[in-house]
Chains A and B, each alone.
Chain A
Amino acid sequence: NAGVTQTPKFRVLKTGQSMTLLCAQDMNHEYMYWYRQDPGMGLRLIHYSVGEGTTAKGEVPDGYNVSRLKKQNFLLGLESAAPSQTSVYFCASSYDWRYGETQYFGPGTRLLVL
């Protein structure tokens, strides 16, 4: 049982390049989330999903897109990377937040946009 995994762990992009971050969970969780963490700050929600085939915007969605084609995977895409997107990205999942299930976090992806 690997829990929540993220790929890649670290990436350097040039401004304007695109990339996709992959989050995978093997706990059969319904809910999945993408957060970003900037230095000295707490996490901010980018997008989330309440089930396979669903996505919704969080607090800071601009510049990102997401897809949840399979229940176990949640993809975060950057179409045209900007230096302001330099951050650490965390994925999380939970079984059903309505019943107080806690969120389990992946190890994070460190992204540097030059």
Chain B
Amino acid sequence: DTEVTQTPKHLVMGMTNKKSLKCEQHMGHRAMYWYKQKAKKPPELMFVYSYEKLSINESVPSRFSPECPNSSLLNLHLHALQPEDSALYLCASSQVGDLNYGYTFGSGTRLTVV
């Protein structure tokens, strides 16, 4: 299996809602990532998990809360988001310590905050 699967593909949520984005991979990768991408912009790193532990938080607001329940799953819990948080949220995975094979990205969740 060489895919990263993200669900849902599209999500519309109100500013008072709580929702979660899910990401799953079965490639044996032990590094997983959340990226945010606004229209016509490059992906911006949010979080890095290495061996299921949070290793990097790129100063992301606390209304975004990541979770890595096991080596195959990565969640992003959302609460009290703002309209400016609307974006494509991308999950990726890779080997730890060796990016020669790059990241494998999921197709993303298109999030709209209303």
Bind each other: no
Residues of B within 8 A of A (CB): none
